[in-house]
A and B are shown apart, each in its own frame.
Chain A
Amino acid sequence: MAPECVSARRYRGRAFCAIFGLIGLLATACGGTGGGATPGPSTTLVDATNISAIVTLDPNQSYEDLSYDHDMYSTLVTFNKADTTKVVPSVAKTWNMSSDGMSWTFHLSKGVTFANGDPLTASDFVYSIERVVNLPKNPAAWLVTQMGITSSNVTQQVTAPDSSTVQIKLTQPVAPGAFLDIIAFPTTAIVDSKVVKQHESNGDWGHGWLDDHSAGSGPFVLDRWDRGSQIVLKANPRYDLGPRPSITRAVFSNVTESSAQYDLLQKGQADVATGLTYQQMAQLAGNSKYKVVSQPNLSLEYIGLDVKNVPAFANPLVWQAVKYAIDYKGIVQQLLSGNAILNQGIVPKGMQGYDSDLPFTQDVAKAKSLLQQAGYGSGFSVDMLVPTGDISGIPASDMASKIKSDLAKIGITVNPRQLAASQLYTTYRAQQAQMVLANWSADYPDPDDFAKPFGDYGQKSLAWRLNWNDPSLAQMVNKAGTLPNGPERNNLYKQINEYEMMRGPFVILYQPLLTYAMTNHMQDVSINPIFGLDLLSVSKQ
């Protein structure tokens, strides 16, 4: 009996051993990193953010978040940090425009090199532009092709007369301000043609390689991009187009859950978090260990009223009625907890042409009387397309509910229909929507990028999607698009804004803020409305 008992205990013991062994392994796991609260080396920055929208880091094709390409590559000119409506020299020292505005010449600084030591010459710029218009399936190509430069004429239009001179000839007039804004944009960033050509395969213009490698002259180079996991940048030791950043390593960690971002920030394992909810940020703002920094985003949230598909919306009085029915302050202060600014014009703050006039506040009586005047005193019902997911950090459905209840007060029954983005765009682009809750953000920081879509039916953009054709507005918008920056241009945009407010079917709700939560170790923080957190200036204690 004894031998069996011993073996029996062994078997039972084995069961327990297995369990305790696992727990023991867990114990060593705990002994590992645990939940340390050290802020890490002061030259490393960890940003808990969402990188799942990034599809490529090839600057000439990048369309989603351009901040990484902005850090790794240089452009001929760049935006003035203090005032992003102005451009300043970067790779190009000086430049001039021909008197007819159809030709530009840029003179490059001498001695600029890429991160690997290769000299940066004018032909690198030319090659980069060639890539923009030649890369297959390039969603960003239109930024350049809208200036009349396409794959068939790029070699004639964009040339390098010598190694430090670039010449660009346009085939159609483009406002100088808009042109320079596009040249400052990462889409036209300069890649090292020697290196990229070496990695070309099957006529892909090196895209397959440049997708997740860097070949630029910016302050940082790409250390690694683990898709879905993180993007890591490290300092470029050869950078000399400006003062060197104090951050030498930047880790952008993919953390899609806001609660997880909050946790990482609290535990000191992230320095910055970009996706916190307003409640979470309010929680942190009261704590001296953290701070919340914000900047108006160059985008606008609006409601679009289709003037053809809904009989009531053919009447401009009804547009006005809707504009007077919305509780703008309630949306900004209560729904968004103050994380937006009121803006009722079609140009966001931070761009020239911005109009700070706010003619509309909620006035139910006035709205009702306008509806009465229009002959819709008994109200009507309309479907509103709403995207799924979040808008400006709150569930889109919450925004939709608020709008629904605001308009119900004047007798308009709104039926929110939540659709996945793809379905929504399909319907909207097919001019089939009745009412849309949507957002328009800057492709490049020029008012033209807003005025044309909102005002010119011929652009086949927003006004077109809502079947709204207003030739006199279109004329104003197109003229403003050709004027050089100055008082005349600003005046025209003021008129355009007023026109849209008083005689347009776009109900501009607010302009969202870009908000970043961070620990107080972060100093000299500046947020660029286009590129987000400025890695060049920020430092960490």
Chain B
Amino acid sequence: MASTPLPITQEADLLREGAGAVTWLEGVRRLLTNPTAAVGSILVGFWILIAIAGPLAAPQNPYMQHLDARLTPPSALQWLGTDSLGRDILSRLLYGARLSISGGFAVVAAAVVIGTLAGVTAGFFGGVWDDLVMRVTDMFLAFPSLILAMAIAAVLHPSLTNALIAVAVTWWPTYARLIRGQTLAVKENQYVEAACALGMGKIGIIARHILPNAFAPVLVQATLDVGAVILTLAGLSFIGFGAQPPTPEWGVMVSDGRSFLQTQWWVPTLPALAILSLVLACNLAGDGLRDLLDPRSER
């Protein structure tokens, strides 16, 4: 009796190691020694904190106009100055953080979910379905993302929600491809065969063997993509197809303030720096994750 559990445990270890996954302890150790990942995680954590708590800490109502105090420079009253309608920029940045971060996460989450469904089934079951999925992703990937997102966001009524939908539509094929590739690679591995031999059902195999192995590169890609999505959303808002004024979305703030760059520089520059900081955080975190999760990749 004692011998039966052992092979299973060993197998479990095989499964985990075969995927190159790391245990939590190992992960934390690597995090602390890798400056990129550390800085990235801290920055991301900072912004997530702002997203959650920011609006509570905001000194003023981000929508409140003070027409007699327009375009004032940073001062003791308004730490980051006011914009063209006298609204407090600090408060708007804090509210906007929530929009940008949740927008980025939402789009990536949606893309991952749809992409996973499509990719895992394509890779695992193969055949006609695989061909179909591949061709469809090819078609979507053939569009430069901003142009397709623009077209979709424009024909729908321009709003933040529709921009999120538009960007998600252009983003899911990347994940489908990624996960399909991972699925194909893992499918051939011995421990999957072993699991099959052990009598595991198809869904079980997918859930317990394939998905966890695909997890690592997807996580890396997703973290990097949150940043890219935020940039795309800001770009869409900048040309008028995303969030609409007076929403304090950062891209909208830069767009509204663009004519003030030389005279009241803080109006467009501060939101742009916020975008930079958040996207940089995501990129650093993504890079760091890549180092952590793939011991073979060399930084």
Q: Which residues of A line the B interface, CB within 8 A?
A: 257-259, 262-263, 276-277, 279-280, 283, 330, 334-335, 388-389, 394-395, 397-398, 401-402, 405, 418-420, 423
CB pair B261 A334 closer than 8 Å: no
User: Known contacts A335-B67, A402-B65; is A419 also within 8 Å of B262 by CB?
Assistant: no
CB pair A398 B263 closer than 8 Å: no
**In the complex, residue of chain B having the shortest beta-carbon distance to the beta carbon of A263:** B262
Q: Considering the chains assembled together, what is the distance between the CA atoms of A401 and B259 in angstroms?
A: 20
Q: Beyond A283-B263, A395-B245, list 11 extra A-B contacts (CB 8 Å).
A: A262-B259, A279-B260, A279-B263, A280-B259, A330-B67, A334-B67, A397-B246, A398-B245, A401-B85, A401-B246, A418-B244
**In the complex, residue of chain A having the shortest beta-carbon distance to the beta carbon of B240:** A388
CB pair A423 B246 closer than 8 Å: no
CB pair A259 B71 closer than 8 Å: no
Q: Considering the chains assembled together, what is the distance between the CA atoms of A258 and B257 in angstroms?
A: 11
CB-defined contacts of B67 to chain A, threshold 8 Å: 330, 334-335
CB A297 to nearest CB in B, in angstroms, measures 20
Per-residue interface assignment for chain B, residues 33 to 63, with 1 indicating a CB less than 8 Å from any chain A CB and 0 otherwise: 0000000000000000000000000000001
CB-defined contacts of A335 to chain B, threshold 8 Å: 67
CB pair A262 B262 closer than 8 Å: yes
CB pair B84 A398 closer than 8 Å: yes
CB pair B258 A257 closer than 8 Å: yes
CB-defined contacts of B208 to chain A, threshold 8 Å: none
Q: Considering the chains assembled together, what is the distance between the CA atoms of A389 and B244 in angstroms?
A: 10
Tell me the dominant secondary structure on chain B's binding face. loop
CB pair B158 A418 closer than 8 Å: yes
Q: Considering the chains assembled together, what is the distance between the CA atoms of A282 and B244 in angstroms?
A: 27
CB pair A279 B68 closer than 8 Å: no
Q: Considering the chains assembled together, what is the distance between the CA atoms of A418 and B241 in angstroms?
A: 11
Count the A-B residue pairs with Cβ separation under 8 angstroms: how many? 54
CB pair B68 A420 closer than 8 Å: no
B135 proximal to A (CB < 8 A): no
Per-residue interface assignment for chain B, residues 258 to 277, with 1 indicating a CB less than 8 Å from any chain A CB and 0 otherwise: 11111110000000000000
Cβ-neighbour of A389 out of B154, B240, B262, B264 (below 8 A) = B240
Q: Considering the chains assembled together, what is the distance between the CA atoms of A502 and B264 in angstroms?
A: 43
Q: Considering the chains assembled together, what is the distance between the CA atoms of A129 and B120 in angstroms?
A: 67
Contact sample, A vs B, 29 pairs, CB 8 Å cutoff: A258-B259, A259-B261, A259-B262, A279-B71, A279-B84, A279-B259, A279-B263, A279-B264, A280-B259, A280-B263, A334-B67, A334-B68, A388-B158, A388-B240, A395-B245, A397-B245, A398-B84, A398-B85, A398-B246, A401-B63, A401-B65, A401-B85, A401-B246, A402-B65, A418-B158, A418-B244, A419-B158, A420-B157, A423-B157
Q: Considering the chains assembled together, what is the distance between the CA atoms of A276 and B260 in angstroms?
A: 11
CB-defined contacts of B154 to chain A, threshold 8 Å: 420
Tell me the dominant secondary structure on chain A's binding face. helix
CB A512 to nearest CB in B, in angstroms, measures 18
B256 proximal to A (CB < 8 A): yes
**In the complex, residue of chain B having the shortest beta-carbon distance to the beta carbon of A393:** B259
CB B136 to nearest CB in A, in angstroms, measures 29
Complex A-B, nearest 7 residue pairs according to Cβ-Cβ distance, in ascending order? A397-B245, A334-B67, A258-B259, A277-B259, A259-B259, A418-B244, A395-B245
Chain B stretch 113-129: residues in CB contact (< 8 A) with chain A: none
CB-defined contacts of B158 to chain A, threshold 8 Å: 388, 418-420
CB-defined contacts of A263 to chain B, threshold 8 Å: 262
Per-residue interface assignment for chain B, residues 233 to 267, with 1 indicating a CB less than 8 Å from any chain A CB and 0 otherwise: 00000001000111000000000101111111000
CB A326 to nearest CB in B, in angstroms, measures 15
CB B260 to nearest CB in A, in angstroms, measures 7
Cβ-neighbour of A395 out of B63, B256, B262, B263 (below 8 A) = B256
CB B84 to nearest CB in A, in angstroms, measures 7
Q: Considering the chains assembled together, what is the distance between the CA atoms of A505 and B261 in angstroms?
A: 41
Most chain A CB inside 10 Å of its own CB: which residue of B68, B154, B245, B258: B245
**In the complex, residue of chain B having the shortest beta-carbon distance to the beta carbon of A420:** B158
Q: Considering the chains assembled together, what is the distance between the CA atoms of A418 and B154 in angstroms?
A: 12
Most chain B CB inside 10 Å of its own CB: which residue of A263, A276, A388: A388
CB-defined contacts of B256 to chain A, threshold 8 Å: 395
Q: Considering the chains assembled together, what is the distance between the CA atoms of A303 and B158 in angstroms?
A: 22
CB-defined contacts of B65 to chain A, threshold 8 Å: 398, 401-402, 405
Q: Considering the chains assembled together, what is the distance between the CA atoms of A420 and B155 in angstroms?
A: 9
User: Known contacts A280-B263, A398-B246; is A419 also within 8 Å of B240 by CB?
Assistant: no
